Each structure stands twice: as structure tokens, then as C-alpha cells.
Chains A and B, each alone.
Chain A
Amino acid sequence: MIMLEVKNLKKSFSSTEVIHDISFSMDEGETVSIIGSSGSGKTTLLRCLNFLETPDGGVIKIRDDVLFDSNAEEPMSEEAARKKRLHFGMVFQSFNLFPQYTALENVTLAPSILAKGYGNPDITSIENRGRELLADMGLSDRMQNYPHELSGGQQQRVAIARALALNPDILCFDEPTSALDPELTGEVLRVIKDLAKNHTTMIIVTHEMSFARDVSDKVIFMDKGVIAEEGTPEEVIDNPKNERTIQFLSNYRNIQ
């Protein structure tokens, strides 16, 4: 079943077009990896999906729900964008945990606020769910710690639990391990792999090629704001056809 459909998405900053006419779709339970060189527009694409940026053109659809359509009559209000964002979760490169809250409070803050908005917050069950998520991330013994008391890998796992706590339809990762010391990337990649096994629908921007190959159902190679090549990991990573994909991947082969 199709979960996400993106059609003819465009985004410019002042006069430079950063995303040119991107279209793709993904099924429920799929993991899609986006690879590509720095500056190719990967972050901007994720930010458009999360409405941190308003696209200049195109359509974004989740299931049958049109979240964004540049041909719509009126521009999207702040309040509408806020509701639509909840379809997506976002894990940032730099974690962006809230420093004044414990790991558990980071996870439960947004669900509690939302539940209060609906009038009957069941704080106990929100907390239980937070504990469960942190346990899934291997952080049972770190729930009461503040972010500065955690390693980068632990902070990023808290950030993943925080995003999952709102049950997003699609979880987006923007280079989740790029800010980490090499010996800490493994623990983060491992929990993402577990999520993939449990069929969490995910879009992952990453430079970890072997991870992308293992975890993805589909790989998208972006270059200069367009999708230059897409397909299964075997197609795109192991047997790239596009000249630019071959060029890009050769950088990684040389290192390995």
C-alpha cells in the first residue's frame, strides 16, 4: 500500500533552485535511503516533508490525504502546518534534545502537551510508553539522565525514541550518525536496523553505504536537486548505471 507520494516537488532559496521537480513514492513499512553528495538537496527535501520549509511547487500525499498542494487555493497556515507535521517524525544530525529535560521527559514532553490539548491527558500511559521506547533503544538505565550526561550515540537514540513517541507515519533521519564519533555510529545504526525489521516506514539520508545497502528496500541517489537514480540497493549501490552515481560511489569504494 502506498504510504507517501511526492510529485514534482520544487524548492528555491532566493533565486537558486535547490530541489528541481522531485517525484517518488514509498510503501508502508518500507525503508528508503537517500544518498548523494553534500549540497545535493537531501536535507532540504526532508525539511520540505516536515514543513520546516514550505515547498514552492508540487504535491505531498500521505495515503489519500493531500498534505500539500502548491495549486491549493490558500497558503498553508502555521496551525495547519503544525498538524501536518505530525505525519512525519524527524531525527536531526545534531540530535537537538532539550537540555533541561531528562531522557524520559524529552520523550514524553510532546505527547503530554498534545494530550493536554485534547483534554484528558493519561500521563501514566504516556510515561509507560516513553519508558518502553527508551528500553527498546537500549536506554533503560539512562532514563533519568540529562542530555549532557549522555554520549552522542545515547543522545541520538533518545532523539529517535522522542520522534517515535508521536507515532509518525514516516520517520525521517537526516544523517543520524554524521555528528558521532566512529565508535558510536554502530549503536545508532543498530536501532535503526531494528526499526526496519519491525517495518517502521522510514526515509534515511545517510553516507553509511553498507548500512544503506543492508537496511533499505529502496535507494535514491540525489544529485544537484534531482533524483539521478533510484532502485533496490543491489541496483543503485552495487550496480549503478548512472554516470554520476558511479562517480559518487567511487569515493566510498576508494576509502573502504
Chain B
Amino acid sequence: MFFHVTLTLLGGFLQTVKLFVLTLVFSLPLGLVISFGSMSKISAIKAPVRFVIWVIRGTPLMLQLLVMYYGPGIMFHANVWGSGDSGRFVAALVAFVINYSCYFSEIYRGGIQSIPVGQYEAGKVLGMTKSQIFFKVVLLQVIKRIVPPISNEIITLVKDTSLARVIAVYEIIWEGQSFIKSAGIIWPLFYTGIFYLLFSGLLTILFGQIEKKLSYFR
């Protein structure tokens, strides 16, 4: 039984990790693009970007998942997600990417805006171009400042992936819960908790290492 449960949970965990990794791969860079939009001097760019960030951060991810999956079909009669498991997975991934990009963009914006203007001016009077100032002077300072909030967000994402079950993405908790009905046992649910603890523990160590790597300057 233990072996069977482990195998089933591993299958669910694979879905969880897949959703987690792909969400990060897309939302970390997309967040940077969105943060530039939200800091744009052109209000025709800045205003709509800030509006979208407000909507996404102001509504539950659960709601966004449901609207993302059912919305296109019911509102526009468009089957954009394809059918079956893979379709639901893609819909969940898109909802997660949009949601997390917006959260990351706010962290990036905070980090970029926290760099004192004197750093830019020192770069300018030394004859550096805007992009040289960004990449050689500002970027590493921004990274140092955003590592703690980004790691919080990423550890939240580990747990948020479980929300994908509302559109029947068979992540690990879904699989764990299935044993209540099929075998009348609760311990597989606790077992899923161990997967989460190990995973987030691993990430905590990793981010701790990164913070330590960047602690050589202030």
C-alpha cells in the first residue's frame, strides 16, 4: 500500500513541479517586462499596465483559474485550451503565469525604484550609457534587494500550485485526497504535506545560499 501511495503521489507531485517550474520560467522574465511598463513615462502604457496589476493582485487566484479555463469557451465559444488533461494544464499554467508575473513585477519595481538616484548619476558622469548603468551598476544591487521578497513569493507558489485542482489538474493533493474515497485512509494527505515541506525546505536553503553569496556588499 505504502509503495502504491508513494507512486501515485509522485505522479501528482510531478504535475505540481511541472506547473511550478514552468510558471517561474515564464513569469520571472515577463514580470520584468511588466515592471518596465508600470514605470513607463508614457501614461498610455503605464495606466493600463497598473490597472491589470491591480485587478490580478486584487482578485483570488482561484477565481482567475476558473475564468481562464471556462471563460473563453463560454463567452466566445472558442476552445482555446484544447481538450483533456493537457488543455486544463495549459489553462492553469497561463493563469499562474499572469498572476505571478504581476506579483513579481511589483517586486522588481520596488527593487529598481529603491536604488538611489545618485547611483545613476555617478554612472552618467563617468560617461556610461543608460544600458551600461543598468547592467553594470544597478542590476546586481536590485537583485540583492529582491532576493528575499522573490523567495517568499516562490515558496508561496509551491503551495499555490494546489489551487490548480479546481480545474481538475491532478496535482499531488488531488491524488492524496483520492485515497479517502477509494481506501478510506487519511495518511496519504499527511504524506503530501511531507512532499511540500521537503520541497519548500530545499528552496529555503537555496535562497539562503544566494543571499549569502550576495552579502559581500551592502
Contacts and interface: CB of A to CB of B under 8 A. Distances in A.
Interface of A: 50, 52, 78-79, 82-83, 85-86, 88-90, 92, 94, 96-101, 109-110, 113-114, 146-148, 162-163, 166
A46 to B, nearest CB: 10
A52 B124 contact: yes
Given A92-B122, A96-B118, A113-B136, A85 B217 contact: no
Contact of A85 (B125, B130, B132): B125
A110 B141 CA distance: 17
A248 to B, nearest CB: 28
Contacts of A78: 130
Nearest to A97: B122
Contacts of B144: 100
B218 interface: yes
B129 interface: yes
Interface in B131-160: 132, 136-137, 140-141, 144
B1 interface: no
A94 B118 CA distance: 8
A92 B126 CA distance: 12
Contacts of B125: 50, 52, 85, 88-90, 163
Contact of A96 (B121, B128, B132, B216): B121
Contacts of A52: 121, 124-125
B127 A98 contact: no
Interface of B: 116, 118-119, 121-122, 124-130, 132, 136-137, 140-141, 144, 216-218
Given A109-B136, A113-B132, A162 B126 contact: yes
A98 B119 contact: yes
A92 B127 contact: no
A43 B218 CA distance: 27
B94 to A, nearest CB: 36
29 contacts: A50-B125, A78-B130, A82-B124, A82-B127, A83-B127, A85-B124, A85-B127, A88-B125, A90-B125, A96-B118, A98-B119, A98-B137, A99-B217, A100-B140, A100-B144, A100-B217, A101-B217, A110-B126, A110-B127, A113-B128, A113-B136, A114-B127, A146-B217, A148-B218, A162-B126, A163-B125, A163-B126, A166-B126, A166-B127
Contacts of A148: 217-218
A12 B128 CA distance: 26
Mostly helix, strand, loop or mixed at chain A's interface?
Answer: mixed
A99 B217 CA distance: 6
The 7 closest A-B pairs by CB, nearest first: A110-B126, A96-B122, A96-B118, A148-B218, A90-B125, A100-B217, A99-B217
Given A100-B141, A148-B217, 7 more contacts: A50-B124, A52-B125, A85-B124, A96-B118, A97-B122, A98-B119, A166-B126
A86 B127 contact: yes
Nearest to B138: A98
B129 A82 contact: yes
Nearest to B144: A100
A88 B116 CA distance: 22
Contacts of A146: 216-218
Contacts of A86: 127
A99 B141 CA distance: 8
A96 B130 CA distance: 17
Given A82-B127, A83-B127, A92 B121 contact: yes
A35 B11 CA distance: 74
Contacts of B122: 90, 92, 96-98
A168 to B, nearest CB: 9
Contacts of A162: 126
Contacts of A109: 126, 136
Contacts of B216: 100, 146
